[in-house]
Structure 1
């Protein structure tokens, strides 16, 4: 997986849609990878549209990432896409002319209903999907097998009424994300992609922009822990999760807990009280926080995107990423039948990480 020779980079006619800080980071990585000598001349950047969510933590990180994007020479358009009943209509209406003119559309979340709706309005001849974490792995599988686009933690359940109403739009988006002689599709990813859909170009994201822009970090003694939103998505039981965090912190001498932007305030407060960990709410994606430093010599994580991205962002440093598997006993009764297999796959396909043998069994017991 390598950048295409002679591939045109971002410029007028390139429109990117993001809804999370990680998506925005990966658009910047994509732009860097496709730029001559890693830098685009003034005025040749892309137009980056932020479809802002309502969550305050996500909005804060997105604003910081938007500042970095502007510093790189890109135009940033902030859309209050969820700011009331009329907001979706106003957002789509305001973007229609841009979509009609765009020759290339870059997106961070092909599962997003917003993005799927916007895809029906564009005739762009080039579509690019950048990583939205481990969801990219599921997207590629579904695209290759011609399945409907469904997030992994919802797969296996009955479609909600809204899903049924939106099904025609989702089907249209999947067709548009399938390459044709008139339309190319690129996936820009740091995730392991074993089966590449026919006609799709896969380009490796090695976090070159992050490594050039930040660090190297100061490496401190001890360990840091990375949080996950598996409790908030209904996959993992809250009590089991806190037990696992407590055991890992004690075993490995962790002192800081970097919260996921979707973790609830209530859970984090309980975690801080019961484990003694210092809870840190990062103002940027963890790849940038870790690269900027200081960072612990060991980073502890459960199966998540960071077990794939942190080794790349921290390449050349002394930091070790260690991952603790999710024990089946931690799953809730609401967890998708696909949950255990998907999470195990996230860990088993990660490169340059240390798996923690026996930790799951100790915590579960």
Structure 2
């Protein structure tokens, strides 16, 4: 079976990963999938809003694509016709905000007609064993595997089971840049913000699985590897195909947005990942907002409630908890004429999603003095690279903090 007609399983653990799977499927022209052998479990995602966000479903102007009409999955194992295409498997995290956004994205995928299988992959000590056991059969049958996070231990474990000869990695933000570089250099797969040094006991225990997964992600005769990315890819392993993600699906489905006169600020999880000092971060946000007249702060889904309360109190910004990835929020609008951000994925993706709207994206460098003592030695260089390689953005100097 050719890759274009292969049955495809996509594994996602975050809203952005699911969005980029939809973007990839749009470029591929994939049809929705029907696989009764999957034994699809009911998806707990509600259709009238989510407990995490308390928000209603998407407004009616959203229309499914022609290929998806009439193919919405009820989530109860009864699906319409069609033997090949894409099935999305959500390896659900425990974080409430991430779960809320994932449920909303799952609704979008169903509106496109795709089958979504929701796995409570972290719902207790026995959940990983149940999840892997339930997915073993579909994994062996799938001709193509799409994954959003090759650093994920879950995904790496699943890669040791699959026999698929067609592997696709879609964007999981800036981590994609580091993944491709590590693959090209033959290094073990380690997230860029992890502190350097000798691996811990858990890493050593999992090392054989990680090594097998890395070998599976290298192209060999009879196995195709593709990276679908909006990020700049400097080092590409020989034989790996790189396909550009220009957010064509997002632009076709949403907007153009209503643009306000003011500025909006995009938050990051650099504090939560231990890279940036919280006091310096709050000061920088306050200075940026005051300098550029920003009134709203779009929080990253991983930002802590305590930090956001502090930001609201000390900066006066309206804190917005998006219920969808920011690319969709911005495209739906309303959105500020200027969007301010620290080095992050959105400085690469928002110019693509907002192409032709006149919205300006500006990125502020992270001052080395903001880094914590626990930050990875690679952190400053990586963040500078994120900023320096961004296209169609206005670059701001780092702001001064006390």
Q: Secondary structure at 2:193's aligned position in 1?
A: helix
2:118 aligned partner: 78
Deviation, 1:36, is 7.1
CA distance in 1 between partners of 2:270 and 2:201 (Å) = 24
Match of 2:348 among 294, 303, 308: 308
1:255 aligned partner: 295
Deviation, 1:162, is 0.2
CA distance in 2 between partners of 1:274 and 1:364 (Å) = 14
Give per-residue Cα distances to partners, 1:193-240, cap 9 Å, x unaligned. Answer: 122110000100000000000000000011000000000000000000
CA distance in 2 between partners of 1:40 and 1:140 (Å) = 32
1:339 aligned partner: 379
Q: Is the 8 A contact 1:45 1:75 kept in 2?
A: no
Match of 1:69 among 94, 109, 115: 109
Match of 2:173 among 119, 133, 152: 133
Deviation, 1:158, is 2.8
Instruction: Trace 1:249-288 onto structure 2 (pairs within 5 A).
Output: 249-288=289-328
Deviation, 1:364, is 3.1
Q: Is the 8 A contact 1:226 1:300 kept in 2?
A: yes
TM-score, normalised via structure 1 length:
0.95
Match of 1:31 among 25, 28, 36: 25
Q: Could you list the runs of 5+ residues in structure 1 that have no partner in the other structure?
A: 1-6
CA distance in 1 between partners of 2:3 and 2:222 (Å) = 17
More helix by share: 1
2:158 aligned partner: 118
Q: Is the 8 A contact 1:249 1:255 kept in 2?
A: yes
2:52 aligned partner: none
Note the aligned Cα RMSD (angstroms): 1.4
CA distance in 1 between partners of 2:284 and 2:307 (Å) = 14
Give per-residue Cα distances to partners, 1:85-143, cap 9 Å, x unaligned. Answer: 00000000000000000000000000000000000000101000000000000000000
CA distance in 1 between partners of 2:96 and 2:195 (Å) = 28
Aligned residues: 355
Q: Could you list the runs of 5+ residues in structure 2 that have no partner in the other structure?
A: 32-64, 72-81
Give per-residue Cα distances to partners, 1:42-79, cap 9 Å, x unaligned. Answer: 53541100000000000000000000001111100000
Match of 2:131 among 70, 76, 91: 91
Q: Is the 8 A contact 1:303 1:326 kept in 2?
A: yes
TM-score, normalised via structure 2 length:
0.86
1:4 aligned partner: none
Q: Secondary structure at 1:364's aligned position in 2?
A: coil
Q: Is the 8 A contact 1:125 1:183 kept in 2?
A: yes
Instruction: Trace 1:64-213 onto structure 2 (pairs within 5 A).
Output: 64-213=104-253
